[in-house]
Amino acid sequence: MSNSGHLAGKTALVTGSTSGIGLAIATALAGAGANVILNGFGDAGQIEAIRAKLASENGVEARYFGADMTKETDIAAMISAVEAEFGAIDVLVNNAGVQHVAPIDEFPVDKWNLILALNLSAAFHAIRLALPAMKKKGWGRIISTASAHALVASPYKVAYVAAKHGIAGLTKTVALEVAQAGITVNAICPGYVWTPLVEKQIPDTMKARGMTEEQVKKDVLLAAQPTKEFVTTEEIAGLALFLTTDAARNITGALQVIDGGWTAA
């Protein structure tokens, strides 16, 4: 079967897409007809099952590359391989990310370097390498997963907040550079989303603040979210999918907030 969605015949690369937000976005893009390129870490058998399911259920091609997004050479090799097979990356979703929670004077330097490399520099490299083929086609969608932390700060997350503010600046700058090239560049800024990334930072936050798990969820994670609900990965995927449509062609350089009202305060 072939897929006749609005992305039929197009190819999407979603970094950090073996779970969480990235997998939800890859699933939505495949549902609209895009060939999808998965990337990320995880169990090889599980990843292959995800890849095969995406392909068979949506009538699209699906590939997996285990490129380490902190390594420029890995990113370049992945993009070259995708372009060799599919011609261009039409939709680039920069989603790979990692978090560490600690006061700045105790913040491990290796964690700072890792977070900046994965959450910010990886997007820079992917964009600069994917853009020439997009420009040649005269069409492209670049979407980065930022965060409400691209707009506001929280304590103990110095590297993450700095990187996400960096994504905001990167997004705006590239959007201006390609404004007349048929390419839009946007960032999605979720509030707290229930993903493995959030789940993993709860013990560190419990320790840093001397709280129980329930207290961390209610008084830290959802304290700033007026809806008192976690944003879902499907909601973020729906927004990403909309940004790939013709209806969204004049949305560029935007930080699209989906945070339950967090940044309204």
Residues designated as active site:
160
Secondary structure E strands in the chain: 11-14, 35-39, 62-65, 91-94, 140-145, 183-190, 255-258
Q: Are 222 and 231 in contact (CB under 8 A)?
A: no
Residue 98, token pair as written in the block? 């990692």
In the block, residue with structure tokens 């997007």: 123
Residue 161, token pair as written in the block? 């907040």
Gyration radius of the chain's alpha carbons: 18
Decide: helix, strand or coil at residue 260.
coil
Secondary structure E strands in 55-170: 62-65, 91-94, 140-145
